[in-house]
Structure 1
Amino acid sequence: MSIELNILDWFQTLHTPFLDKLMVFITSLGNAGIIWIMMTIVFLLIPKMRKTGAIMAAALIIDLLLCNVILKNLVARTRPYDVNTGVQLLVSRLHDYSFPSGHTAAAFASVTALYLAGEKKLWKPVLVLACLIGISRLYLYVHYPTDVLGGALAGAISGYLGYRFIQAIFYRIKQKREGCAKSEE
């Protein structure tokens, strides 16, 4: 853990008023998954994007269960600012556990969902934002590096599982429609 604290302490050497405001803003985009939820709702409202929206919704629900219900409580890792109490926080103290980073997990669940849904123009900028959110969590001293890596992995797994789940549902719907069409002949 000392290596991880050394990495976080190195991030503390990068602080400037501009970067402080930027990182607080970037991390706020991931608060409660709001940006990903809003994106999902927009996609669900656009008929040709509906399947992508369904994949994102499934990915985010799986991510919520995997990260916030299972992993955080199972691992029960103390946040770095509770270990190094001398750090001045730029964001409010959090009341849940540190591993995995929920902000990072939701971001990577969304990236993976977009990538697997074939959204070639969307997944790349979302990947950049996801990486920036992960970095912001380190900069702000609210997560260890392994929390962010664990969040990215959990998010990617959630995105994949969400994609597979929706693919299975769409396959069954297609099978039923084809079965109904054959019976009408």
Structure 2
Amino acid sequence: MGVIQRAMVRACPHVWFERSEMRDRHLVTKRLGEHVSDKTKLPILIFPEGTCINNTSVMMFKKGSFEIGGTIYPVAIKYDPQFGDAFWNSSKHSMVSYLLRMMTSWALKCNVWYLHPVSREEGEDAVHFANRVKSAIAKQGGLIELDWDGGLKRDSQRIFQRGTAEELQQDNCRRT
């Protein structure tokens, strides 16, 4: 993985960060803001859910991508399972077995919709802006909108300790 990652970094600029490190989040927000304000740079590709989903739903977006300003160019992507399932269930399959399955699949077919650009409205906070973009993507792709964070699927231990997924989501919001 390290070889692939280093090759990607050399091929085009990336912004790497550690989600659990609060200081990194502020630095990333600053770097993204600088990138967006520089009109000579290419647009940034962001997956605001922060995780993979099984092609049926759109989970809660991370608000950080929507705090930096600039115009968002939403893209709805929905895989067609006709020739193979592109979803990687990381709790069941290793990355190597997933990559092997993808590379030996006859084809992967997906529908891609480029939606109209959107900007943050006056007085709109980042959470409402993110939800507005998420709704547009879900509607276009015929996907279900979920109100919970994708990180919950990897945090089942804390769900059992804290009670409900909703309580865990509120706890996560307080920590960010």
Q: Same fold (TM over 0.5)?
A: no
More helix by share: 1
More strand by share: 2
TM-score when scaled to structure 1? 0.24
